[in-house]
Structure 1
Amino acid sequence: MNSTQTSYNIRSIAAKTLTEVLEKGASLSTVLPLMQQQVVGKDKGLLQEICFGVLRSLPELDWFASQLMDRPLDKKQKNIHYLILVGFYQLHYMRVPAHAAISETVNAVVALKRPQLKGLINGVLRQFQRQHPILLERLANLDVRFWHPTWLLTKLKQAYPSEWKAIVEANNQKPPMWLRVNPAAYETQAYQAVLAEREIESHMQTNLPQALLLNEPIAVDRLPEFNEGAVTVQDLNAQYAVSLLAPQNDELILDLCAAPGGKTTHILEVAPKANVIAVELDEKRALRIKENLKRLHRHAEVIIADGTKPSTWVAGRQFNKILLDAPCSATGVIRRHPDIKWLRRSTDIADLVTTQYELLNAIWPYLKSGGTLIYVTCSILPEENDQQIKSFLAKHADAEHHPLNLPVGMFGAERALGLQLLPKANMGDGFYYAKLVKK
């Protein structure tokens, strides 16, 4: 069913979604599922494609608007501005026939209760069609072609003078879909064969025996036995957390900042008899941990609590191992969450660094002597990663850093402390790992 046969206009819903994210600071992962409830069938995928696409390429689309309009629309008409960007994105990047993209986008103005602007939208989009080659020529040497905010580009250039362009390129692509096969249900090759029977092609990752890369991303409900716990969707580089932690049966293990539970369940797949405590501050996100544990038929103690105040929930326990997946800028997972580029501010980083240190400092006394703490972020900014660990080591004489070697074929950057993985096409997202052992 397409939008011409329905009572809704998909482009107007896309414009409303983008307004919620870019004007009101809402997360796309929160807003989009709510907006998708208004549409049916394949239109859910179309709405997702448009919203993700506009957020990925926002600086470029904004620049097109600045070149084709005499003056920007006022703040009260921001949803119309985003509707124009929706039109540009379709004409520039999608296979939607141009006449359909233009007519449907023009009709969306009526759904947004601004019918008097139909002529403006039609004129701007047709002008875009006519001037397309000239616009691309002008764009060629401008920073907007990198699709990143200036503050983040500056940080990437400083931190990665030789890799920043490759990082930006990876961030701007659609993310690959990685699976983690549950060894209690299938050997990885056996599950790969089950996928092949359904004509779903995949490749194994030799460094991580549970990891499978799908040739093309698919809806989760198409994965065989997903609801029965046979497989979990988890990025390749996220899967390294548990291999570095090396959990053992009968160990007392803390997963701190544990939602949505991917790493909690992974620990229990590797060490089914480990005693795992998963702590999460956000009640709704903690519910996701419980749902994932139930789907995978595993048990962990889930505690809703503040990780910076362990005395209120730790109950005198000392842990053999701690996995701290610290709250961060999420600059390593931009390709999965393009709204991060526009919701995050450069001023946020200092606050995040403070929170990360508070978590590390608060939980360290509860690690047993000889125990291991794995510090993880999905950030690629040094101040959250190796600089954070350097600061922690300087203030904790009983903390010892253990080097982590890059596995073969991974895309990483050399750092004095820890392991910095960078996003790469058909590989993993950006993650940082550091291994600390208590002397």
Structure 2
Amino acid sequence: MSADIRDSRRRGLHNDGGLALRAAAARALVPVITGKGSLTNLDDHQVVARDRALFKALCYGACRTLPRLEALADKLLVKPFKARDADVQALLLIGIHQLLYMRIPSHAAVGETAGAARLLDKEWATRVINGCLRRLTREATALQAEVDHDPAVALLHPRWLLKALRQAWPDDWRTICEANNTPGPMTLRVNRRHGDREAYLDRLVSAGIDARLCPHAPDGVTLKTPCDVLALPGFEAGHVSVQDEAAQLSAVLLGPVLAPRPGARVLDACCAPGGKTSHLLELFDIDLHAVDSDAVRLARVEDALTRLGLAATLTHGDATQRDWWDGTPYDAILLDAPCSGSGVIRRHPDIKRLRRPSDIPKLAELQARLLDNLWPLLRPGGTLLYATCSVLPEENTEQLQAFLARTPDATPTTPHDVAWGRPAGAGRQLLPATDSHDGFFYARLVRRAS
């Protein structure tokens, strides 16, 4: 028996999944609370299979409630932890989240969270965390009422974002915050090449999976309860993919342009991770060129297309440049532009910590460069669909207003007789809705023939 195993048994840690789970979640949270990384590539294989759902719930849940967790930690601690002890800080935050938001017995949340400090090689912190969490079990109501005087804490959003949402959506900003603070549902996109969504809904029912049809996306089905994708009938065979209802509307908006044009030449700029790319190929007989500047994410597009049995020309390139273009104009361009992600915070709660107000003008400048660079690649009479998963006007209505002012041959054709979203300048805005779609903006433009 190794010295490490003897030592772990002596400390009561051998095969203790509860402690290991919480220590792993604390390590995963450190990059977020220190502003150095996100949960985008969260690796749940560092915990045993039976604990992976709880591991993700701890990580994403703590990110979602971080403003209140940190405010309460400040009240509970006699003095703050040092910078080198960010893992212990994360562990305390995870413990607070369990006590306030999860159906975990308080004795387990306190004992196993405090004990996990030993797995971080910081046994001194067990007593500190234990004391903080035990105090919270006694004084939770009073302490929460005290910290919730701050709207940023009560609404779980940074002050700058609250201000931006309130200015943009004076009648809806609280509803947006509430939607952002609720995990989004798991929505599927049925591959019409293998049957319609009504038939797939029957397959889900036969598999014991409760679901409903999406009201706006004709290929969308929303599950009552999220599940592992491998439990979905036909997933590995490409019969279905995971994609939010709002994101599926890009194919709906391009449908009138592509359906009558077999072999249409289409560009999907900033295409990763490939959900919209594959949806277009499932529906239309087109020659699709997909470009992205991130080689790692572009590989995910290739994986998605392989699973679905689809093909496109994939290019690693910068859509603000044209060195990848062969000189032949496109019939249609989908520009799913890099943005703040302010419409998908419920799926990526670390955005609230990692995004900065100074990012918004930088993103708006990048979006403008993309629009200006790609527009000349469109044939006269062709269509460009601009999309973001943002709810901020600087990236959406104001961006399109400025583009139209400097682009005399661009005409908006965004439909306004649809049941989803609301008119927003030259486009249409969907706000995040609890138990429904994400926040998204679309603007469809046609290039007039000279």
Give me the whole-angstrom Cα distance separating, in 2, the residues matched to 1:128 and 1:333: 31
Q: CA deviation at 1:9?
A: 1.4
Partner of 2:206: 197
Q: Could you say if the C-alpha distance between residues 203 and 401 of structure 1 is closer, same or farther in structure 2, counting changes exceeding 3 Å?
A: same
Is the CA contact (8 Å cut-off) linking 2:217 and 2:246 kept in structure 1? Answer: no
Q: Are the aligned partners of 2:182 and 2:434 in contact in 1 as well (CA < 8 Å)?
A: yes
- In structure 2, do the counterparts of structure 1 residues 141 and 24 end up closer, same or farther at CA, with 3 Å as the change threshold? closer
Once residues 305 and 53 of structure 2 are traced to their aligned partners in structure 1, the CA distance between those partners, rounded to angstroms, is 28
Aligned to 2:341, the other structure's residue is in SS state coil
Out of 287, 299, 305, the position equivalent to 2:299 is 287
Q: Distance in 1 between matches of 2:405 and 2:241?
A: 38
**What is the percentage of aligned positions where both structures have the same residue?**
40
Partners in 2 of 1:436 and 1:18 — Cα distance?
A: 42
Deviation, 1:358, is 0.7
Q: Distance in 1 between matches of 2:417 and 2:395?
A: 20
Superimposed CA distance per residue, residues 183-214 of structure 1 (whole angstroms, 9 cap, x where no aligned partner): 11121111110110111011112432211011
Report matched runs for 1:27-426 at 5 Å.
Answer: 27-30=38-41, 32-33=42-43, 36-143=44-151, 144-246=153-255, 247-248=258-259, 249-271=262-284, 273-310=285-322, 312-405=323-416, 407-408=418-419, 410=420, 412-426=421-435
TM-score normalised to the size of structure 1?
0.95
Aligned-residue CA RMSD in angstroms?
1.4
Is 1:406–1:419's contact at 8 Å kept on the other side of the alignment?
Answer: no
- Other structure's SS at 2:390 match: coil
Partner of 2:32: 21
User: Given the superposition, is the C-alpha separation of residues 406 and 145 from structure 1 closer, same or farther in structure 2, using an over 3 Å criterion?
Assistant: farther
SS in 2 for 1:67: helix
- Structure 2 counterpart of 1:262, one-letter code: G
**Runs of 4+ residues deviating >6 angstroms:** none
User: 1:266-321, CA deviations, whole angstroms, 9 ceiling, x for partnerless residues?
Assistant: 111111x21111011111111111111111111111111110112x1211110110
2:340 and 2:363 in contact (8 A); partners too? yes
Summarize deviations over 1:232-259 as a string: whole Å, max 9, x none: 1000000001110122321101111001
Aligned partner letter, 1:15? A
Paired with 1:19 and 1:165, the residues of 2 have a C-alpha distance of 29
Unmatched runs of 5 consecutive residues or more in structure 2: 1-12
Do 1:328 and 1:384's aligned partners in 2 also have CA atoms closer than 8 Å?
yes
- The equivalent residue for 1:5 is 15
- The two structures have a TM-score, normalised by structure 2, of 0.93
Distance 1:206 1:132, change over 3 A: closer
What secondary structure does 1:242 align onto?
helix
Unaligned runs of 5+ in 1: none
Deviations 1:41-90 (A, max 9, x none): 22111111001011000010111112222221121112111111111111
What's the CA shift for 1:136? Answer: 2.9
Per-residue deviation, 1:407:
3.1
For residue 104 of structure 1, what is the amino acid of its counterpart? E
